[in-house]
Structure 1
Amino acid sequence: MHSDLYKKSLRNEDLQEERRNKQLQEQKRLRTALQDEHRQISNVDIAEEIELPKRYFDSRRNKEFTKIRPMDSEWLWQRPSDLQNWLIMPYPKGQRCILIAEGACTRIYTKRGKLCCILHTRFPGDLMKPGSGTVVDCVYSRADNTIYVIDMLAFGTNDLVNCEAQFRFFWLKSRFQDYEIDLDNDKGGKKIVLLDKYDFAYIDSVEETVKRFPYWPDNKPKLDGFVFYHKESSYVFERTPLMCWLFPYMITDVLGIPSSIRYKKPTDYIGATQYMHFLNENEMKKIKRNNEKLKSEPMDASLLIEMSETSDIEVDSSVELVPNDICTTGGMELDSLEEMLAAERSLELEGK
């Protein structure tokens, strides 16, 4: 039942472009409907507070959660016929997380929704920038203690989920410049950095990007791979063919664009498509092992619930939480951000 959580072909990688076009049409239809709805209330002040994702507290596990989940990618099985309508983003090795600023503080959640950190930023919704709130998709790199911003779902009173990716990224970049986004008085020395995107309509910049090694100075953080976004795609809370992924050593095989030969291929790599299938098979074997473990080992009910909501067995550490609607003004780490996110990352890599 967890098979949809992985970058797998479903034996229909040849249909990826067809599924992609179908999703694009559906998203365009939804945007048009929303625009028509706003026109009908054009004489009304609509600059109201947006509805941020609800937080909830599980007393059985003594943890706070959010139901929001980040958008997830598929393999880029083939070169898109409309490659000029795509963007590419270098992605650092790290742990995916969701950052939510509201109620005079900023919370960081793991990609499975578990609260792991409370601190202060200059995003709207935090103490320094009062406003409706901010929801940002991020990846945390332990190598340089940096939170890299991928995408933005909400900012102030603006809901960006149904906006096209190209607009979201433009908005995100301009807000970073206007608000001088950063952490406030973070004792751990963390930074917030916006990840760059490159447009395939300007192929020279893309070619320069995939040839660069190391991508970041001193190879910190290391480049994990490249994420591809269709310019017209909305943000969805599931896996989508409008957001795709390749490891650096797959770029030339799939896109026909020369990449740096310093990104070493695995010893058992014989081609991009074959290796994608190989990795998918390993993931499915891991799912099967975990499902068998669920059936064979006695567990308490709360752990069973937690495992049923995730694809892996999650490392469970005690977290001392502040009440759901209270934030300390000095910033507070509820658990080691590095340890909790690293635990999730290690589980994702297990079996590969």
Structure 2
Amino acid sequence: MTTEGKPMTSENGSCNSTTPGSDQPEIELRPGGAGFQRLSRPPGINPPPPGFNTRNSSNFDDLADAFAGSFTVTNTPNDPNRPHPRFAQFKMKGSSLPQDERRKKLLSVQKQRRDDLINHARCLAMGEFEGDDQDVDDGDEEDMDTTEFRQRRMAKSYKKQLMLSEWLVEVPEDLSTHWVLILCPEGRRNFVVASNGITKVYSKNGKQVKKFPSNIPGGSRTQKRRNSYSILDCIFSEKEKIFYILDMMCWDGFQYYDCDTEFRMSWVQQKFIENKDELMDSSRMNPYRFLPLPVYQCTPESIHSALNSSLPFQDKLDGLLIYHKQVHYMPGYTPLVGWLKGFMVPELLNIQVSEEIMAQKPNDYAGMKVMLKSTFERVEKEKKSIKDGEMESETAKAE
């Protein structure tokens, strides 16, 4: 029995939807029913996404359609003319802040780094270090007077302030374009600080070895600008009484730690030209002269010319320092600065050098690798003996 406009339920519980005057066939909607028919997907309706439960469907064509609608096979998956497939999933981190504030924040971080370098340079120049007391045991502090304690604290502060090189064992591919060369005379590497009207010289381990007035900005009490200071990386020649300037970290109160090598070295040459008479003067107020070392390009022609011409100093050649042009001044060892003996150049760079430089080669020299291995073993042995000596000294004090 059928009621107009209402579905009629059959004996097996299925619902037959009929409409008077309609030509549509009766469709059994219950799967497995006698009149069950599968409807094709109406146009304009997207297929179900992957993972959609199709437990009642055994038609693999539908499953293939679903996968085909979800994946795109193309030779240009990241076509710039189309939206990126992950664009809808992208979320802006920190997008709650306006762009102007984010710009200021980034500039503040960059400025903070520069301020840290300025403060570091000022502390080195003025001898004002905070937090270094933790390097000295409290018990040691009680057993020494104030002057002795301050000297010990300062020595630790000036330790490891030089940018040191590594042996050049691998030739950079961009050697001729991104590196520069400095010929180094025999001498002692020093950290020179001119401030408060006096010039102080420190060794690599932070020990003060000299103190004198100089014409370096900040290095003499006769200078008008009392608050000025300068920090230099030098090689001292005892024979010539000259400080050869390798690098410049500060000059007349301006710091250059965050400047690249090419700029720093060109600036050293410029400042020397401006102050040549004062820096090369030898007097009671400037007992030691200061002279910058020339800089060479690392092209084969330039290296060959530098090592086959007269040296720019009277001392013997100690070796070659090779700097990457873009490296900032970073205290400590760095692979961006290489070290090489002059007689090793033909072996490593295949560039001939003068007979005078080749004469420096040791008689037992058996190649660069053998020499470096023996050098490392000797250094490690010396470190171990020094450490053992310190331990024995501490044990003797404790007894």
**Cα distance in structure 2, aligned partners of 1:93 and 1:129:** 35
More deviation, 130-139/61-70: 61-70
2:349: which partner in 1? 255
The residue type paired with residue 115 of structure 1 is Q
- Residue 377 of structure 2, aligned match among 262, 268, 281: 281
Q: Aligned partners of 1:34, 1:118: CA distance in 2, in Å? A: 43
After superposition, the C-alpha distances for 1:236-289 in whole angstroms (9 at most, x for unaligned) are 110000111111111111111111233221122121122112211111111122
Q: What residue ranges of structure 1 are gaps of 5+ in the alignment?
A: 1-32, 42-46, 303-352
Structure 2 CA distance, aligned partners of 1:79 and 1:199?
Answer: 15
Amino acid at match of 1:205: S
- Alpha carbons of 1:151 and 1:299: their partners in 2 closer, same or farther (altered >3 Å)? farther
Distance across 1 between alignment mates of 2:266 and 2:105? 21
Taking structure 2 as the reference length, the TM-score comes to 0.58
> Amino acid of the residue matched to residue 267 of structure 2?
W
Distance 2:304 2:150 in 1: 48
Q: Which amino acid aligns with 1:65?
A: A
CA contact (8 A) 1:55 1:65 kept: no
Match of 2:163 among 68, 71, 74: 71
Listed as ranges, the matches of 1:103-252 within 5 Å are: 103-126=196-219, 127=221, 128=223, 130=225, 131-180=227-276, 181-182=278-279, 185-186=283-284, 189-201=287-299, 203-212=300-309, 215-216=311-312, 220-252=314-346
Deviation digits for residues 140-165 of structure 1, max 9, x if unmatched?
Answer: 11121111111000112321111100
Deviation at 1:66, TM superposition (A): 6.7
Contact 2:185 2:315 in 1 (8 A): yes
Structure 1 residue 50: Cα displacement: 6.2
Contact 1:90 1:226 in 2 (8 A): yes
- In structure 1, what is the equivalent of residue 53 of structure 2? none
Per-residue displacement from partner, 1:309-334 (whole Å, max 9, x unpaired)? Answer: xxxxxxxxxxxxxxxxxxxxxxxxxx
Q: What is the identity, as a one-letter code, of the residue corresponding to 2:193? A: I
Shift of 1:65: 3.4
User: 1:161–1:236: 8 Å Cα contact kept in structure 2?
Assistant: yes
Maintained 8 Å contact 1:153/1:160: yes
Partner of residue 88 from structure 1, selected from 163, 176, 181: 181
> In 2, distance between residues paired with 1:34 and 1:99?
36
2:26 alignment counterpart = none
Give the TM-score, by structure 1 length.
0.65
| Distance (Å, rounded) in 1 between the aligned partners of 2:285 and 2:268 | 26
- In 1: Cα distance, 2:155 partner to 2:393 partner: 26
Matched, 1:59 2:113: no
User: 1:12 maps to what in 2?
Assistant: none
Residues 58 and 93 of structure 1, relative CA distance in 2, 3 Å threshold: farther
Measured in 1, the distance between the counterparts of 2:306 and 2:240 equals 21
1:108–1:117 CA contact under 8 A, matched in 2: yes
Question: 2:170, 2:282 → 1: CA distance?
Answer: 43
* In 2, Cα distance between equivalents of 1:121 and 1:150: 18
**Deviation of 1:298 (Å):** 5.2
Deviates more, 1:119-128 or 1:82-91: 119-128
Which structure would you say has the larger RCO, counting Cα contacts within 8 Å and 6 or more residues apart? 1
Tell me the equivalent position of 2:12: none
Q: Against the structure 1 CA distance between its residues 145 and 35, is the aligned structure 2 distance closer, same or farther, given a 3 Å change threshold? A: farther
The answer as to whether partners of 1:74 and 1:241 remain within 8 angstroms in 2 is: yes
Q: Residues 200 and 135 of structure 1: is their aligned pair in 2 closer, same or farther, counting only changes over 3 Å?
A: same
Q: Summarize the Cα distance change of 1:190–1:224 in structure 2 as closer, same or farther, 3 Å threshold.
A: same
Task: Render the CA deviation track for 1:12-59: whole Å, top value 9, x for unaligned.
Answer: xxxxxxxxxxxxxxxxxxxxx999449989xxxxx9996241527851
CA separation of 1:123 and 1:80: change in aligned 2, threshold 3 A: same
Would the aligned equivalents of 1:135 and 1:154 in 2 still touch at CA under 8 Å? yes
Deviation at 1:199, TM superposition (A): 1.1
User: Which residue identity does 1:138 align to in structure 2?
Assistant: C
Q: 1:34 to 1:87 in 2, by over 3 A?
A: farther
2:87 aligned partner: none
Letter in 2 for 1:51: R
**Partner-residue secondary structure (3-state), 2:192:** strand
The 1:48–1:261 alpha-carbon spacing in structure 2 relative to 1, beyond 3 Å, is: closer
Q: Secondary structure at the match of 1:144?
A: coil
Q: Secondary structure at the match of 2:334?
A: strand
Contact preservation (8 Å) 1:252, 1:258: yes
Alignment of 1:94-105 (within 5 A): 94-105=187-198
CA contact (8 A) 1:226 1:246 kept: yes
Task: Choose 237-246 or 253-262, whichever is displaced more.
Answer: 253-262
The gaps in structure 2 that reach 5 residues or longer are 1-103, 113-117, 129-145
1:287/1:58 Cα in 2 relative to 1: closer, same or farther (>3 Å)? farther
Q: What one-letter code is carried by the residue in structure 1 that aligns with 2:201?
A: I
Q: How many residues align?
A: 261
